[in-house]
Amino acid sequence: RMESLVKRYFWVINLVLLAVIAFLAARVINNVVAGEIAALPTNPSAEADPSKALPKRGGSGTDEWAARITERNLFNANPPDLEPDGGVAEDGDAGNDLPPGMVPPPGAPCEASDSNIGYLAAMVAEPSTWSMAVVDDGEADDSRLVKESQKIGDFTLAAIQSERLVLAKGGAFECVELGKKAAKKRPTKRGYSPPPSTNKTDFSKGVKKVGTNRYEIDREMLNEQLADLSQLSRQARVIPHYRDGKPQGFKIVGVRPGSLYSHIGIRSGDVIKAVGDEEITSPNKALELYERLKNSDNVTVDIERRGRKSTLEYEIK
């Protein structure tokens, strides 16, 4: 019976023996590793200077660590005083100085121009090469459209901003505020001068619809409107139109009821794609077509309205 019990639980004896052997092996390995660590050389600088040794645990050790961190100023809690000539400007306005040749951005200080140039209206766009301004230099009878880098008298138009024009001359910049009007020279001879245009022009007397998308326009009335671009710009907004990053003409928005735009069949949201056979792909092309419009008898305008293309025909008499 004893023999049968031994055979039955012999696996327990094997487990106990394996546990004892594992324990003994662990003790042997532990002693060997401890001996190797004890044989490593110590830090001579730490032995020579006890202050560099690691502090013992406890309240005094914590205070010592805090003192060392404060002494080393790890987090720049006590920054050193700047040298007198460290490059920090004492004048608070010195940071507003612009590098030579840099166009003053909107809001930056700019010397007021004493030139006889008026800033009547503008179309500010991105990129700035598409921006246009309506100016009056006091020389011509009519206001005109200009763009950046264009000459205005002795000045070069450096930038068109919503509140001002930046003019460049001789490496210096001057600014003309929006709303400034040029002083007209007195005429040398007496002659008839047309009365100034008013905001209540009755365009129905100068525009007649003769068919689907076909209109007759009185030339005198049209020339009067084109001569006062500031008034024309208040009747609608004209902004560049892009598709896939490429210019696709000009978009008309905010067309006012009773305006010239509404009488000639243009609605808010229309995109003017081309005038005649010329597509509007750049500011230069827009200015060229504007000049052509003043001297043409028949003009066709290709527009896109809600994704559909159509053509407006005008006969100017």
The per-residue pLDDT for range 186-198, each reduced to its tens digit, is 544 444 444 444 4
CB-based burial label for 314 (10 Å; 0-12, 13-18, 19+): buried
Band of pLDDT at residue 213, cut at 50, 70 and 90: very high
**How far apart are the C-alpha atoms of 250 and 239, rounded to whole Å?**
6
**What pLDDT digit, counting tens, does each position of 47-78 carry?**
555 555 555 554 455 566 666 656 655 554 55
Domain ranges of the chain: 1-36, 118-177, 203-316
Are 135 and 150 in contact by the 8 Å Cβ rule? The answer is no
**Residue type (1 letter), 225:** Q
Task: From the options 3.30.420.10, 3.30.365.10, 2.30.42.10, 1.10.10.10, give the CATH code of 203-316.
Answer: 2.30.42.10
101 — alpha (psi -120 to 50), left (phi > 0) or beta? Answer: left
DSSP state of 145: E
Half-sphere exposure of 273 (CA within 13 A, CB side): 12
**What pLDDT digit, counting tens, does each position of 140-196 carry?**
667 778 888 888 888 888 998 888 889 888 888 989 888 777 665 554 444 444 444
